[in-house]
Every structure is written in C-alpha cells, then in structure tokens.
Amino acid sequence: MLVQFFQRTHDSLLLLGKSKEAEIKRINKELANIRSKFKGDKALDGYSKKKYVCKLLFIFLLGHDIDFGHMEAVNLLSSNRYTEKQIGYLFISVLVNSNSELIRLINNAIKNDLASRNPTFMGLALHCIASVGSREMAEAFAGEIPKVLVAGDTMDSVKQSAALCLLRLYRTSPDLVPMGDWTSRVVHLLNDQHLGVVTAATSLITTLAQKNPEEFKTSVSLAVSRLSRIVTSASTDLQDYTYYFVPAPWLSVKLLRLLQCYPPPEDPAVRGRLTECLETILNKAQEPPKSKKVQHSNAKNAVLFEAISLIIHHDSEPNLLVRACNQLGQFLQHRETNLRYLALESMCTLASSEFSHEAVKTHIETVINALKTERDVSVRQRAVDLLYAMCDRSNAPQIVAEMLSYLETADYSIREEIVLKVAILAEKYAVDYTWYVDTILNLIRIAGDYVSEEVWYRVIQIVINRDDVQGYAAKTVFEALQAPACHENLVKVGGYILGEFGNLIAGDPRSSPLIQFNLLHSKFHLCSVPTRALLLSTYIKFVNLFPEVKPTIQDVLRSDSQLRNADVELQQRAVEYLRLSTVASTDILATVLEEMPPFPERESSILAKLKKKKGPSTVTDLEDTKRERSVDVNGGPEPAPASTSAMSTPSPSADLLGLGAAPPAPAGPPPSSGGGGLLVDVFSDSASVVAPLAPGSEDNFARFVCKNNGVLFENQLLQIGLKSEFRQNLGRMFIFYGNKTSTQFLNFTPTLICSDDLQPNLNLQTKPVDPTVEGGAQVQQVVNIECVSDFTEAPVLNIQFRYGGTFQNVSVQLPITLNKFFQPTEMASQDFFQRWKQLSNPQQEVQNIFKAKHPMDTEVTKAKIIGFGSALLEEVDPNPANFVGAGIIHTKTTQIGCLLRLEPNLQAQMYRLTLRTSKEAVSQRLCELLSAQF
C-alpha cells in the first residue's frame, strides 16, 4: 500500500533531478486527487484516510507546503488502531503549528489517550505534546504530566516520554509548570531501576537544576551514586544498556553533565565517591580495550571527555586536573583525527586553570608539531587556539616564533586571526620591546595583507610611548624598507616611524637623511592614496628634522604630480606643506611638527578586535562600516587629549586614521584657504592644546564608579568636587571649582570633551562659567547628561586658566560611566536563573577573574554592588558567599537588562566576576568598571 505510493513518488523523484516542474506537476496532481477524496460525498474509512494523510505528510517532507488535511489527521487520532493513530500524531507533530485552531480538538484526543492506560497510546500522546509544546497544551497538561511521571504504576516507557514532555513544557512555558512535591520524587527517578527512565529523567533534572539549583541539590548525591554504580559495574551487569562493552555510555555522559550544574559536592563522602568515579574513568582509559571495535573506544572516550569537562568545571582537584591533562596529551598523538581535535579543544580550557597550566605547557612540542603536520584546517585552528591559551612569559618567544613560521603556510581563512593572536601575545609578553618590534615587522612581511589597521596603529603607539625602543625601531624599519618589494603596511609603519625618529639613525652615513628620504620616496608611487598622504606628512616632518633635505623635499612637493594631483587630499597636503615649509620660521616649524606626545594607555584595540572576530560577523561588520564612515568625516576617533594639533601635522587623527576616503567638503576647516589660512589654523590650534590627563586621575575616576559625590581632583591651586544624580537615562552633575589660592584665576574655561566615539552616545549640555574665579572662591557648573546609547569611554574635562601670569592646563576624566544609568531590579531566584540562562550566548557573557586589591569584606562588597547601581539579590545564589545582582541600563534608544554574579574566593584572594547582558559591549564595559572596584 504505502510502499506503492512511495514507489510512485520515488519515480517522480527521479524526475526531480531532471526537472523541478515535472515534480511540481506530479505533486499538484496528487494533491488535487487527495483533496477531492477528502471533499467527496463518500465518507472515507480509517485506512484510506490514513493513506492520504500519510501522502500529504510525505509531500510536506519533500518541501512543499500543505494547507489542508489537518482535520482528517485530527480524526485519525481517535482511531483505535495504532497505525492510524500514529500517522495522525506524526502529521500533527510535524505540521501543526502552535497557534492552530485545531489545538482544542487535538488536546481532547490527547486527553483521551492519556487516560486510556494503554502505554503505546499514552506514549504517542506524550510525544505529540513534546513536539508541539504550545502554550495551550502546556495549560491543558502541565498539571497532569508530573503526576503521570511520578505515579507508581506508570509504565517505564511512558515515564520516559513524560519526563521529556515535561522538559519541553518547562522550556516553552516555565510559568505553567508548577514546582511542588513532585520535584523531590523526580529527583529520585535517578534511582530508578530502569536505565531508560534514568536517561530521560537526567535530561529533565539537568534543565530544572540549572534554573532552580537549590531545589534540586539532592540530585548531586543521587547522580554520583548512580554514576558510581555504572562506572564500577562489570560490563555484563547492565545487560541491554551496555554498548560494545561500555556500560551505559550516554547515560554516564548525561549524569556528568548534570553534575556540572553544581560546584564540587560539599559532603566529603559524596565528594570522595565522585573523585573515585572520575579516577576509575581515567584508569579505564589506560586499560587495554575490551574490544577492538572502534565503537567501543568511541563510547569509552565520550564518557572520558565528559568526565574531563567535569574535572575542569570543578577546577579543584589538582591531581585529577593533571591526570586529565596527561590523558589528553596521549590523545594529541592518537591516529584518530577526531580525538586529536577534541583533545586540543579541551586542553584549551585546561590551560586556563592554575593547577594544570604548567602541565598543559609540557605538551607544547606536540602541539607545535600538530600545527605543522595536521591535514585538517579545523584541527590546526584548534592547535593555534591552544598555543594561544598556553602562552605565558616563559614560552612566549617560542610560541610566537612558531606561529609566525606557521603563518607562512597557513590557510587563508585563519590568517587574520593568527595575525591578531601573534600581535597580542607579542605585546602582552614583551619583556624586550625590540623583540616586539621585530615580531610585528615580521608579521607584516609574512602576512601583510592580513595585518589590520589596529595592529600597525598599535606598534606605532607603543614605539611612541617607549623611548628605549625608538632608535631600534627606526633602524629596523629602515633595514626592512631596503627590501625591493615590501608590503604597503610596512611603508606606512616605516614612514611614520622615520618621520618621528629618523633623526636617531641619521648619524650613520648609511642612513643619512637624504638616503632615508630617497628610500621612502622610491616606494611612494607604488602606494595607495592613504599611504601617500601619510608619506607626505613624513616629508614635512623631515623638513623639520633635517633642514639639509628641505630643498629636495620642496622640489618633490612642488612637482605637478603633487601640486596638481587629482586626489583632493593629496593635493591639499602638498600645497599646505609646501607653503608651511616656505613661510614658517624654524621655531614655528619645530612647534608644529614636534614629536608626538605619548598616547594614553588603554586596552589594546587589537584585543577588542579579536574578541569581535569571535562574535556573529554580519552585525558587527555593518556597525564597523558605519563607524568607519563617521570616522572619515570627523577626522579620527582618537580622543582629543592625545593630539597636539588638528589637520596638518601627522597627528594620529589626521594621519593614522582619518585620511582614507575623506570627503573633501565637511573635513574640518575649509580647505580652500591655502597656505596663509593654514598658519592661522595651526596657531589657533596650538593655543588650545589640551593637557594630557592629570596623574592619578584614573584612580579618582575609579572611585566614582560606585558613588556620586566627592572630590575628583585636587592640586595646590585647584580643587574640583562633584555631586551628581541619575535617573533612568538622564542625569545631572554639579561641578564645583574651588580656587585654593588667594589670587584670582583669569580666563577660567572648563571644557567638556567627548571623543568622536562617545559623542553620538552621550549628550552633555552645560553653560560656560564666569571666566574669573576670585581667590578662595568656588564656582559651580551644572552639566545635564543624557545617555543616548551605551558607551565605553568617559568624557574628559579640560580646564584652562591663568594664574599669576602662568598658563594652567588640567585634564581629568569625568566619571560619567555606563553603570550610572542602572535601575535596580528585584527578582526571585527562579526568575534570575531563568534570565541568566536566556543570556547564555557566548557574546553576552563576559567574565573576569582577578586578584582582590582591597580586603575582602562582605559588607563593603555589598555596598559597592548597590553603589554600582544594580539590585543586590539575596538568597538567589545557592552559594551564600556569592553575590548576584540585577538591573536595567536605561538609554534613550534602548534598555538593556544586566545580570551579574561575583564569586569571591577567600583562600586565593581572588574574585570571579561574570556579567551577562543582551549586548556584548555592555557586558564588557560593566565588567571592566566593576572589576576595578574590588
């Protein structure tokens, strides 16, 4: 019967390869036929009804939409024949969506089947609830199913279905599943004689325990004893659940998963038994296999890997961690690719445990070898990840060297990530910055195309900030540039560094100013517009550094290819620089073209980039391009305090970032003003130089994260106090400027500076204050604050004034931080863990483990969490030593729910802070801010 139909459909399927049309034609014919049968006057018997419903189902599974037959399927449910009922349920499970109006009829049929006491019918009904799982179904059956599940006389197979059915309802409508006395009885299903029931129950309990850890705490000891019985059983004991001599592998895996919902058991007896189990599992891996079949070892290893995850999760038994590491080490050389892949992956997590980090490091040679010999790119990728994870100061040179040499042959798909990793490791573990410079230059040489802007910006920032490496950097780039073909990124780095520090190597006749210039200029014509623009800035810097090459450079600038360049940016630079070099005196030149001041220290942008790479790509890409565009228009995202002047000197804003495709019209001051106008620009700019941040202001800033009032800054002349209040996305800050001297301050001008990144996200409005501040007096300034969207940087408050004839200039960070827009949210334990679970996407969570900087006092910690703005939730975390908080960040555009959890470890004097919010940047920022508080 059915077979015939399938046979025919199959024939038509053979057509499918040839023509889609033929298939559609054939199916439409069949559909019309079925439709007429259903509509026909003759009532169909159960058998035909089943036949046609089954055909519809098949057509649906071929990928065609079905818009009728639902009623007939529902009719089949009330049949007493298993085959008919089964097809009816199958059709409904696959095709009925949750808001169908048929749901009441279906529910009725299910109710009858549940009451039928026929285990197969009950099973079908429960399967159907589990696959549809709609709200109406939950309303109708959520009360009923727990009873079926724990009733003493329920058949085993029905219990299994009931357990997973309940799991489904709990996932879709947790509010409708009442917790009650059945919960404790569910936990005892772990003791059930029937392993199938235990398998199903473990899945249910795991989910319930994740959300209500306290209520299901007893499951730990039960799971341990169940696991222990399985692990120690002879392979014949569990008859049917032994799979190729491995006792109940899938159940063992599930039990080990369940245990990962909890910290290590507190009861020493339970803990001892669990440790014994884990040891037995590790021992078994060393025993000779009971079967040569691959199924045997696969099943055994599945349990082993899960056991290792549990060991890593507990992170408390150094002995087990080291054994796990050794076991994985053996797998690293196994002939099965799958095992090598998984071993590399789990070792990555082992590397972050303090107990096993050293043990992981002993496998470095094997991992490096894997990098060279593995044939599968995904395995090599894991090897790179592991090298990155095991890297520390002791092995950084070796790992970086290996990654660099791998990069020469690496797959294109993972090159950029490796470049970022190398750049981060080189910076993080650089003792000797010459090594760092060498590494990055090598990086550019080997994989220049994959070196993103962040990477080469960073090397320049570091060279500028560290004067011990500047001479070396200049010498090295000079040598690197000698290569006949060098990557454009090298030209950029080289141009920038020689422009700043070329004088440091000019004493050597082999790298005299003219040679330096000729070398750079030999690359000029091969480069893209942004690089050429950068080189032009280098040339004008040369004019200042080496007066002897000034005529040569002026000749170059004067040539038609520069002065009449079709590109506006290049032309403008050539015109302005040429003019500047002729008009300005040596002093002015020296001021305008002075060496770059150090960059403010902050988190490496490369790290941020790597983190971003791991996220979902589509969204970020879009944001990226948007951001880049705004950067171009505004000249650059660098915060103002870093730059000495705007447009024309090689400041980071003008050269490092903003030159790209800057549209000519809105780019700063009107470009048509020519040379004379430029000088005015230069002067007016240099008069408003913003001071670098005042020393110690970082500390003061951190103090304001959890409080709103206090003294922000104080020196011998000036005191700045703050009082602020915030409600939802708005805030108001009172700034008090106190003159501590007995003399007037003149031209007193405080300015609020928001970087280009910050500006669109944070609105600050204020009125200017009186320019004269009498001796001993205090003036007040009110700032109205509006948070438009989440932000990371803080605004800078710059104050300039004259005191007794000297010009004073102070900059401090203004403590307006994202957490100020928190509104606390109270919630019960259940709600908290449910939401916690909902935010389980890896991008939503940010975690930081750090050493305590202050004494670990519970009350102080509580006060800080409340001061941070979130609600402090008591009795939510199963471990009373932990702190959890919840709140909502209000911004004008959106509200972001935030959950946080702080786990102190008194012994180690460490904290682990976990932030989960719906937005990665928010989690990141809040975690950063709060981590600095403890």
Partner 1 sequence: MVNKQGQTRLSKYYEHVDINKRTLLETEVIKRCLSRSNEQCSFTEYKDFRLIYRQYAALFIVVGVDDTETEMAIYEFIHNFVEVLDEYFSRVSELDKMFNLDKVHIILDEMVLNGCIVETNRERILAPLLILYSECVDSDL
Using CB under 8 A, list all residues that contact partner 1.
2-3, 6-7, 10, 13, 16-17, 47, 54, 57-58, 61, 63, 65, 81-83, 86-87, 90, 97, 120, 123, 127, 130-131, 133, 157, 160-161, 164-165, 167-168, 195-196, 199-200, 203, 240-241, 243, 248-251, 253-254, 257, 295, 298-299, 301-303, 305-306, 309, 337-338, 340-342, 375-379, 841
For the bound state, the minimum distance from the C-beta of residue 310 to partner 1, rounded and expressed in Å, comes to 11
Nearer to partner 1, 47 or 68 (CB): 47
Q: What angle do CA 155, 159, 165 make, to 5 degrees?
A: 145
For the bound state, the minimum distance from the C-beta of residue 120 to partner 1, rounded and expressed in Å, comes to 6
CA distances for 732 relative to 341, 586, 724, 727, 790, angstroms: 55, 48, 6, 9, 17
Structure token digits, residue 405: 């040499």
CA distances for 510 relative to 468, 505, 513, 659, angstroms: 22, 9, 9, 32
- Three-state DSSP at 522 gives helix
37 is in an annotated binding site: yes
**Selection from 610, 602, 605, 608 nearest residue 419 by Cα:** 610
Nearer to partner 1, 282 or 570 (CB): 282
Contact criterion met (CB below 8 Å) for 301 and 327: no
Strand partners, 810: 799
Nearer to partner 1, 47 or 807 (CB): 47
For the bound state, the minimum distance from the C-beta of residue 351 to partner 1, rounded and expressed in Å, comes to 18
Rg (CA), the chain: 35
> What are the φ and ψ backbone dihedral angles of 828, each rounded to 5 degrees?
-80, 165
For the bound state, the minimum distance from the C-beta of residue 229 to partner 1, rounded and expressed in Å, comes to 17
DSSP-derived pairing of the beta strands 730-739 and 745-753: unpaired
Nearer to partner 1, 13 or 526 (CB): 13
Residue 804 zone, left/alpha/beta (φ > 0; ψ -120 to 50; rest): left
What span, in angstroms and rounded, lies between the C-alpha atoms of 713 and 699? 10
Contact criterion met (CB below 8 Å) for 933 and 852: no
Which residues contact residue 107 at a Cβ distance below 8 angstroms, ignoring those fewer than 6 apart? 136, 137, 140, 141
For the bound state, the minimum distance from the C-beta of residue 605 to partner 1, rounded and expressed in Å, comes to 26
Nearer to partner 1, 579 or 837 (CB): 837
For the bound state, the minimum distance from the C-beta of residue 3 to partner 1, rounded and expressed in Å, comes to 5
- Three-state DSSP at 600 gives coil
For the bound state, the minimum distance from the C-beta of residue 299 to partner 1, rounded and expressed in Å, comes to 5
- Three-state DSSP at 351 gives helix
Nearer to partner 1, 339 or 399 (CB): 339
Nearer to partner 1, 62 or 115 (CB): 62
Helical H runs in 116-247?
Answer: 119-132, 135-141, 144-150, 156-172, 182-187, 195-211, 219-232
For the bound state, the minimum distance from the C-beta of residue 185 to partner 1, rounded and expressed in Å, comes to 19
The string of DSSP letters for 564-580 reads T-SSHHHHHHHHHHHHH
Structure token digits, residue 90: 């199958």
- Three-state DSSP at 892 gives coil
Strand partners, 822: 889
Nearer to partner 1, 168 or 573 (CB): 168
Residue 848 zone, left/alpha/beta (φ > 0; ψ -120 to 50; rest): beta
Strand partners, 912: 849, 903
The helix (run of H) or strand (run of E) holding residue 382 is helix 377-390
For the bound state, the minimum distance from the C-beta of residue 4 to partner 1, rounded and expressed in Å, comes to 10
53 is in an annotated binding site: yes
Nearer to partner 1, 6 or 736 (CB): 6
For the bound state, the minimum distance from the C-beta of residue 305 to partner 1, rounded and expressed in Å, comes to 5
Structure token digits, residue 651: 């400041």
Nearer to partner 1, 242 or 724 (CB): 242
Nearer to partner 1, 47 or 850 (CB): 47
What span, in angstroms and rounded, lies between the C-alpha atoms of 154 and 619? 50
For the bound state, the minimum distance from the C-beta of residue 577 to partner 1, rounded and expressed in Å, comes to 50
Nearer to partner 1, 158 or 873 (CB): 158
Contact criterion met (CB below 8 Å) for 225 and 179: no
What span, in angstroms and rounded, lies between the C-alpha atoms of 756 and 640? 9
Class of residue 907 by CB neighbours under 10 A (exposed 0-12, middle 13-18, buried 19+):
exposed
For the bound state, the minimum distance from the C-beta of residue 166 to partner 1, rounded and expressed in Å, comes to 10
For the bound state, the minimum distance from the C-beta of residue 373 to partner 1, rounded and expressed in Å, comes to 12
Strand partners, 247: 242
Which residues contact residue 624 at a Cβ distance below 8 angstroms, ignoring those fewer than 6 apart? none
CA distances for 851 relative to 23, 524, 913, angstroms: 67, 50, 11
52 is in an annotated binding site: yes
Nearer to partner 1, 199 or 861 (CB): 199
Contact criterion met (CB below 8 Å) for 675 and 579: yes
What span, in angstroms and rounded, lies between the C-alpha atoms of 531 and 656? 10
What span, in angstroms and rounded, lies between the C-alpha atoms of 681 and 649? 11
Nearer to partner 1, 48 or 763 (CB): 48
Nearer to partner 1, 262 or 599 (CB): 262
54 is in an annotated binding site: yes
Structure token digits, residue 107: 């529910």
527 is in an annotated binding site: no
For the bound state, the minimum distance from the C-beta of residue 684 to partner 1, rounded and expressed in Å, comes to 53
Query: Could you identify the residue written with the tokens 């009623």?
Result: 71
Contact criterion met (CB below 8 Å) for 580 and 592: yes
705 is in an annotated binding site: no
What is the CB-side half-sphere exposure of residue 77 using CA atoms within 13 A?
A: 29
Contact criterion met (CB below 8 Å) for 355 and 318: yes
614 is in an annotated binding site: no
For the bound state, the minimum distance from the C-beta of residue 24 to partner 1, rounded and expressed in Å, comes to 14
Residues belonging to the binding site are 37, 47, 51-55
